[in-house]
Amino acid sequence: MFVLSQYGKTRDASQHIPFNARRLVGAWIFLSAASVAHADTQSGYVVPPPPSELYGELFVAVQTQQIYPDQKTFVDATPKMDPAQINALYLQQRTVPGFSLSAFVAQYFTPPTDQVITPPPNQTLREHINWLWPALTRNTSTVPPYSTLIPMPKPYVVPGGRFREGYYWDTYFTMLGLQEAGREDLVDDMLDNFAYLIDTIGHIPNGNRTYYVSRSQPPFFSYMVELAAHKEGGRVYQKYLPQMRREYSYWMKGAHTLQAGEAVRNVVMLPDRTVLNRYWDERDTPRDESYLEDVQTASSVSSRPANEVYRDLRAAAESGWDFSSRWFGDNQTLATIRTTSIVPIDLNSLMFHLETTIARGCGEAHDFHCVAEFIGKAARRAIGINKYLWNSNGYYGDYDWKLAQPRNNPSAAMLYPLFAGAAWPDRAHITAQTVETLLLKPGGLTTTTHNTTQQWDAPNGWAPLHWIAIQGLRRYGRADLAQPIGTRFLADVNHVYATEQKLVEKYVVEGTGTGGGGGGEYPLQDGFGWTNGVTLRLLDLYAPGQ
């Protein structure tokens, strides 16, 4: 069989090609070998520099002196005149006796204001979420001059709180709820916005701010396309095929230049020439939105150049898990962060889905050479996942490619291969047992087994990870485990709403007194986009009468 000739003598490769890829393998053998040109040119849109570059010494002074308690506030502020003029005035005035930096900033910048959300009394949880959608919807087809906000042509939903812009991976989970609420218009609008960003910038940034452009986030665009296609039909796959292919090119940039044992940007080639992906960021400076925190972290590390630490901090921000013991060399301490040395299980599962979804789009377009190409890529990735990202302790996990060894840090990310369909069935069932033993708590799934005071660790649980777990387990016949995961987390959300009349970003799932989560660089945020979306779906699954 052609699959075996591609992958050698490994028996597992022939027996465990993921089933959603296996459906197309037969066609792959006979497809045309005609080449297909793929345009990767961009429209020429130029994103303005981030505040750290625009304001230089002024930026450093504002963030270092903590003019605002939250470092994100200044980078979201709008200047009242050309930044070059503001810089010139700062350089002139800063040495004048009695100069006040806080007064200067107040004079030349307008800080962002968060909308105060006051819901009507006595709403049910479902009513409250549906009431929130308009409150969290933004339309920024135009933005003020010199703002860090990147305009998008259509309306979109923000998470809430300090997160005043759209975020890449949040949006998929928000879309789940919008679709359930009958807001297919907003699902389509946000898909079109992301297609616009891919076409103009070349990728979907972390969020639509200039200081986020140097990185992306977990690539859920293909899942968004699939979500819309469930309602609107297969034409959606073809409609967004050019953007899915361009996103794939972004994540795989530089792969063709690699030698075994090397990495470039988001791509790693392992010694046997298996190609997998990692998180990365183009910049190796402190994050604009967390400048002081990053400087302090790097200054506590004497054994590494600061720019390496900054890159790893930024790469963790691309992962969405900022921060987590998953990225720490000692599983405990932020100062040991080594994100770019790690091949993550979640990212590679998402890339597998992107590859299979591109193949689906190519099928809709009757481009059978493309179908064969991307089914081949997906099959090779599934084999790489099951070779390198399977931990012999009984779960899918991350791999440290620099140390050439698995990471011994079980986390809720182990369920991504089940969610994407890349898991071997026997390993999916072993993983489910590990989840039940190590991660299932009274309030749902804990994120990791380590309590580090970071927000993506115990005792916190997050709505997106619960959805991934539930869907992955149901896909592999473990609805019996998916149900307690879903009902326990739903009870946690209900408890906080009943006592505080709000939904929040994350929840404590361990212990008897469950409630809003903590840890990390900023206070617990209300809103909250992805919690709202997942909660509506969980209500449908496990509490349809509510």
Annotated binding residue 217? yes
> Is 164 annotated for ligand binding?
no
Q: Has 162 been labeled as part of a binding site?
A: yes
Rounded (10°) angle between helices 125-135 and 529-542:
150
- List of residues 6+ apart from 86 with CB closer than 8 A: 55, 58, 79, 108
The answer to whether 424 is a known ligand-binding residue is no
The tokens of 207 are what? Answer: 């969020």
**Is 127 annotated among the ligand-binding residues?**
no
Tens digits of residue pLDDT in 414-445: 999 999 999 999 999 999 999 999 999 999 99
Place of tokens 């040991």: 336
Low-confidence ranges of the chain (pLDDT < 50): 1-43
Task: Please check if 170 is assigned to a binding site.
Answer: yes
Over the stretch 144-183, which tens digit does the pLDDT of each residue have? 999 999 999 999 999 999 999 999 999 999 999 999 999 9
pLDDT score for 513: 59
Q: What is the DSSP string of 244-280?
A: HHHHHHHHTTTGGG--TTEEETTEEE-TT--EEE---
Instruction: Give 23-81 pLDDT, tens digit per residue.
Output: 433 333 333 222 222 333 344 568 999 999 999 999 999 999 999 999 999 999 999 99
| C-alpha torsion angle, residues 201, 204, 207, 213 (rounded to 10) | -40
215 appears as a binding residue in the annotation: yes
Query: Which residue blocks in 109-259 are alpha helix, DSSP H?
Result: 125-135, 168-180, 184-201, 221-232, 235-239, 241-251
pTM to 2 decimal places: 0.92
Report which secondary-structure segment, H or E, holds 441: strand 440-441
**What is the pLDDT, as a whole number, of residue 24?**
36
Residue positions annotated with a catalytic role: 322, 505
Q: Give me the pLDDT at residue 545, please.
A: 80
Residue 89 has phi, psi (to 5 degrees) of -65, -40
